[in-house]
Structure 1
Amino acid sequence: MINLPVDYIGVVFAKSRRRIEPERAADLREVLMDWKAGKRPGLAGVFVNPALEELEHIMNVAPLDVIQLHGQETPEFCRQVKQRWAAEVFKVFSFPKDGSGDDENDSAVRALTPYEGTVDAVLLDTHDPMYGGGSGKTFAWERIPAYADWCKENGVKWFVAGGLQPDNVEDLIRTYQPDGVDVSSGVETGGVKDIAKITAFVERVKQA
C-alpha cells in the first residue's frame, strides 16, 4: 500500500477471517508512521459492538485515528468513545442486500438523527447476518440519497462500502458523489489482498 494515494487503511478487530491481534496492528502502525509520500493515511480499526475496555486496551497498544463501529452501538456509546479518545468515530449503517424499502427519507432521519453530534462519518454497508458487516455484496444503491442528504445537512462525512470493486466503483462515485468509499473483499484474490486489484481500485476512484 505504501505510496498509493489513499486516505485510510483499516485493520480488523471484529470477529472475521481478517481479524488481527492488537500487537500485530501495532507492528503495522509502525510501518504506517514511516509513510514517506505526502500525508500518511489514517489508521482505522474495525469493531462490532466492542466494550469500552476492549477499546481501551487496543488504543493503548495501537493508537487508532479512526474507530469504525459496525454493530448496534448506541448514540451514547459513540459519544463516550468520541469524548474518551482523540479519534474520529465512523458509524456503520447496514442494509439488506436485497430490497429497497419504502419511506426511505423517513427511515434515514429516524436512523441517523439520534447520532447527530456523536459521529464524524456515516458508512453505508451491506448487512452480514454473521459478522454485521463485510459481506462483500452490494445493497440497493437507490437507498443512498436519503442518507447522503441527511449527512450533508448535518455536516457529517458519508462513505459507501459493500461489494465495491474496480469494475463498479466509478459508477457509484459518478452517480452519488460520496465523500469516500471503503473496500476489502473487492480487492482480494483467494481471500488475500491483491496489490494489483488495490492499485486498479484506487486508479478508478481517482479517475471518477
Structure 2
Amino acid sequence: MATVKICGVRTPETVRELRRLSVDHIGFVFAKSKRQVSAEEAGALIRELHDGVSGGESERPLAVGVFVDPSMEQLEAIMDKAPLDVIQLHGSESPELCAAVKQRIGVRVFKAVSLERESRDIPSAENIAGRLDRYRGAVDAILLDTHDPVYGGGSGTTFAWECIPPYQVWAREAGVQLLVAGGLTPDNVDNLVSSFGPDGVDVSSGVETEGTKDLDKIRKFVERVKRS
C-alpha cells in the first residue's frame, strides 16, 4: 500500500486531523514558499504531532522538513528547534551532503528529482543511472516531482507518468523507495497508484482550497490512495 505525505502543513488543526487519518508523513516547508514555516513554528507543530503518543514514531505520522540547497549548519540549527524524522532535499544537493545528513543528523533523507512538465521522453536506464547512481546508499527515497523554475518543486502540475517505470526499476535495484509528487489531487491519485504502483505519494496544493488545507479533500485523497 502506498504511503501518503501531506505537505505544506501550517496549522495545529490540520496536524490533529492528519493524526486521525492513515497519513504516513506530514511535510513542513522550510524552503522559500507561500507555505514556508520557521523553525519555531514547525517545532510547535511537531509537538502537536507528538502529543499523547507514547509508542514512538510507529504510532504517528513522520515529520518531514522540505529544503532547497540548505547548509549543514542550517539543518542542524533547525533540528534543535524542530526535531524532524525526515529531511527532504529539493535542490542540487550532492550525494556527499545527503550522506552527511544521514550520518551527522541521524534522519532519513528523501531526494527530489525534477522532471519537466512538457517532456514525454522516457529516460533510459543509462540516463537514470548516470543521474542517480551516486546517491546509492546516501538516500532512503527518491521523489519524482514536476520541475518548478522558481522553487524547484511544488508546482501543482503533473509530469508524464509514463516516465515513472524506469525510475522504479532503479529504485528497487538501489533498495530505496520511489515516491511521486506533482499535480496530484483526490481525482487523479487513484489512477496513478493503480496504474504505476509507486511506494508513496506526496500532495500539497491538490488538497487545498484557496491556498488553505481542505480537510474534506485530504480525507478523499487518503481514502483513494489506500483503497487503490
* Both proteins in one fold, TM over 0.5: yes
Distance 1:152 1:135 in 2: 27
Conserved 8 A contact 2:19-2:60: no
Q: How many residues align?
A: 208
1:143-192 CA-partner distances (Å, limit 9, x unpaired): 11111100011110110000000010011011111110000000000011
> Unpaired segments of 5 or more residues in structure 1?
none
Q: Which one of the candidate residues 153, 168, 188 is aligned to 1:148?
A: 168
Residue aligning to 2:157: 137
2:16 corresponds to 1:31:
no
After TM superposition, give the deviation of residue 112 of structure 1 in Å. Answer: 1.2
After TM superposition, give the deviation of residue 103 of structure 1 in Å. Answer: 4.4
Trace 1:86-101 onto structure 2 (pairs within 5 A): 86-101=106-121
- CA gap of 1:14–1:175, structure 2 versus 1, over 3 A, is same
Distance 1:20 1:87 in 2: 20
Distance 1:136 1:7 in 2: 21
> Unpaired segments of 5 or more residues in structure 2?
1-17
- CA gap of 1:35–1:68, structure 2 versus 1, over 3 A, is farther
Trace 1:121-132 onto structure 2 (pairs within 5 A): 121-132=141-152
2:222 corresponds to 1:202:
yes
**Structure 1 runs (4+) greater than 3 angstroms displaced:** 35-38
Residue aligning to 2:11: none
After TM superposition, give the deviation of residue 114 of structure 1 in Å. Answer: 0.7
Residue aligning to 1:50: 70
After TM superposition, give the deviation of residue 105 of structure 1 in Å. Answer: 2.1
* Partner SS for 1:2: helix
Q: Which one of the candidate residues 184, 188, 205 is aligned to 2:208?
A: 188
Residue aligning to 2:19: 2
Conserved 8 A contact 2:122-2:162: no
Conserved 8 A contact 2:19-2:61: no
* Partner SS for 2:178: strand
Conserved 8 A contact 1:123-1:158: yes
Conserved 8 A contact 1:170-1:205: yes
Identity across matched positions, percent: 55
Distance 2:75 2:190 in 1: 35
Conserved 8 A contact 1:44-1:64: yes
After TM superposition, give the deviation of residue 106 of structure 1 in Å. Answer: 2.0
Distance 1:68 1:88 in 2: 8
Distance 1:95 1:79 in 2: 23
Conserved 8 A contact 2:122-2:163: no
Distance 1:137 1:35 in 2: 37
TM-score of the superposition, structure 2-length normalised? Answer: 0.88
Matched residue type, 2:117: K
RMSD: 1.3
Matched residue type, 1:165: T
* Partner SS for 1:182: strand
